[in-house]
């Protein structure tokens, strides 16, 4: 599938009256907003407010109980398959394949996306010297970097980062900052976080639970 | 243009399916989880059954036991494919990166290879430990191939259906039963015919292959919805 960002400057993300509930407990309701290329959106809220769920809904992994989420390239609304293909998603509830090496994970997901990763991707994320290391042998901080690599390798139009600074040292936080800055030029980025360093990247805000 | 783009999509889906198969083989080579599960189950059951039944049991009993061992070994290993993706928290990344069709074909091919390898290893064990005699080796090979194909189609699809359920072990067996029961009955019939050298066994072989084909077509049509639901 072609990368929307390479050809289409007017990518946009629209929430229309989006709400979600788990059985009787309403997480959020009536969320309406539109974001354009260049927007970095900080998703804020207390624990349990639904930040991660909103990111999963935005990725197309969970269907909202009300409302719609549209990713558009110009005027055209992307199909659900096109939508998912344009998402880069890094979250604590996703993991690389632990028996595989970093390089094997990157090669596998690049093959699925039908892309060749940028040559400097692993270098940018501080993973160049870990290519042949099994993910099961990595520290949690390096696993987080691999999550970022897998989310970025197809140059997604929509980058969704759930607690991107979790388990990262100062160098790791700098990588997140550079990643968000790069995504600003490529498309839209949503960051769900409680860490002020992660929140500070946002120029727009969604605040849940208020 | 439409032909060119659908051809490109097919090539991409095929490449993704091959990538899923290669990944599963590599993970299996490193962890040996499914191999250990089905291999040990098959070996233990075969030895236990041979002690209980001994050499020279009725051909109908031998054929039934062969498929009972194959089925339960398959149930213990083949249904792991999707569960492992959910438990290993890799399923979401896979959902975002690949179409359901590509994932289905990759998992299907992996399961088929696993079951084919098991049946190739199990048959000589049956001949040795149970004194089974195969008078029509060609029919036996066809019977095993069609049965493995049918079992793989049924178990791969039902494994995907129940992968996100809580009590998926029991649920998988229950959901797969209506699909698997006729396949097992026909496979036992054709295997028995192969042991006796009866050419009438080709009929059930064709029916099992057709049933497997139907299940595969239905699975491919429904799998995207199941996978992304």
pLDDT digits (tens, 9 = 90+) for A69-107: 999 999 899 999 899 999 999 999 999 999 999 999 999
Length of chain A: 210
For A9-49, what is each residue's pLDDT tens digit? Answer: 689 999 999 999 988 888 999 999 999 999 999 999 999 99
Nearest by CB to residue B92, choosing from A89, A104, A108, is A89
For A151-180, what is each residue's pLDDT tens digit? Answer: 999 999 999 999 999 889 999 999 999 999
Q: Please tell me the distance from the alpha carbon of residue B161 to that of residue A69, in angstroms, as a whole number.
A: 26
Tokens found for residue B75? 């149930």
Interface ipTM: 0.90
Residues of chain B with pLDDT under 50: 1-2
Nearest CA in chain B to A89: B93
pLDDT at B169: 64
Answer whether residue A122 shows pLDDT above 50. Answer: yes
Strand ranges (E), A115-172: 158-162
pLDDT at A146: 97
Whether A112 contacts chain B with CB within 8 A: yes
CATH of the domain at A192: 3.40.50.300
Q: Across the interface, do A97 and B88 touch by the CB < 8 Å criterion?
A: yes
**What is the number of structural domains in chain A?**
1
Torsion of CA B41, B42, B44, B45, to 10 degrees: 110
Tell me how many degrees the CA angle B121-B22-A152 measures, rounded to the nearest 5: 155
* Chain A residues 8-67 with a CB less than 8 Å from chain B: 56, 59-61
Q: Across the interface, do A111 and B19 touch by the CB < 8 Å criterion?
A: yes
Whether B92 contacts chain A with CB within 8 A: yes
Write down the pTM of the prediction: 0.89
How many CB atoms are located within 10 Å of the residue B59 CB? Answer: 17
pLDDT at B9: 61
Q: What's chain A's average pLDDT?
A: 92
For A98-110, what is each residue's pLDDT tens digit? Answer: 999 999 999 999 9
* Residues β-bridged to residue A207: A44
Tell me how many degrees the CA angle B36-B166-B218 measures, rounded to the nearest 5: 80
* Shortest CA gap B160–chain A (Å): 16
**Domain hosting residue A100, numbered range:** 4-207
Question: A64 phi and psi, to 5 degrees?
Answer: -70, 150
């Amino acid at each position: 599938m072609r990368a929307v960002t390479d050809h289409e400057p007017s990518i946009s993300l629209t929430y229309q009256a989006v709400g979600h509930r788990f059985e009787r407990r309403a997480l959020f309701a009536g969320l309406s907003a539109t974001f354009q290329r260049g927007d970095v959106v900080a998703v804020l809220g207390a624990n349990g407010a639904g930040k991660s769920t909103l990111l999963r809904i935005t990725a197309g992994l969970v269907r909202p109980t009300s409302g719609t989420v549209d990713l558009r390239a110009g005027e055209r609304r992307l199909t659900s398959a096109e939508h998912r293909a344009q998402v880069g998603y890094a979250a604590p509830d996703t993991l690389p394949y632990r028996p595989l090496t970093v390089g094997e994970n990157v090669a596998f997901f690049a093959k699925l996306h039908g892309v060749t990763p940028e040559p400097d991707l692993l270098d940018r994320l501080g993973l160049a010297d870990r290519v042949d290391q099994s993910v099961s042998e990595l520290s949690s901080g390096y696993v987080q970097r691999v999550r970022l690599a897998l989310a970025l390798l197809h140059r997604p139009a929509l980058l969704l980062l759930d607690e991107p600074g979790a388990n990262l040292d100062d160098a790791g936080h700098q990588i997140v900052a550079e990643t968000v800055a790069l995504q600003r030029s490529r498309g839209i980025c949503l960051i769900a976080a409680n860490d002020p360093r992660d929140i500070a990247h946002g120029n727009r805000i969604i605040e849940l639970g208020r | 243009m439409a032909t060119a783009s659908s051809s490109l999509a097919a090539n991409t889906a095929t490449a993704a399916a091959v990538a899923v198969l290669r990944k599963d083989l590599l993970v299996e080579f490193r962890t040996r989880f499914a191999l250990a599960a089905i291999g040990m189950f098959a070996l233990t059951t075969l030895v236990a059954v041979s002690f209980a039944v001994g050499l020279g049991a009725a051909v109908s009993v031998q054929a039934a036991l062969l498929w009972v061992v194959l089925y339960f070994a398959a149930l213990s290993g083949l249904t792991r494919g999707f569960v492992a993706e959910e438990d290993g928290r890799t399923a979401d990344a896979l959902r975002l990166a690949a179409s359901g069709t590509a994932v289905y074909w990759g998992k299907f091919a992996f399961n088929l290879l696993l079951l084919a390898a098991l049946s190739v290893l199990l048959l000589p064990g049956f001949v040795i430990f149970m004194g089974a005699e195969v008078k029509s080796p060609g029919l036996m090979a066809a019977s095993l191939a069609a049965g493995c194909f049918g079992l793989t189609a049924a178990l791969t699809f039902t494994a995907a259906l129940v992968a996100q359920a809580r009590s998926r072990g029991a649920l998988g067996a229950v959901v797969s039963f209506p699909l698997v029961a006729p396949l097992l009955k026909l496979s036992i019939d054709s295997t028995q015919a192969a042991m006796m050298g009866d050419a009438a066994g080709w009929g059930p072989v064709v029916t099992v292959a057709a049933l497997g084909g139907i299940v595969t077509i239905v699975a491919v049509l429904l799998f995207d919805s199941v996978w992304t639901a």
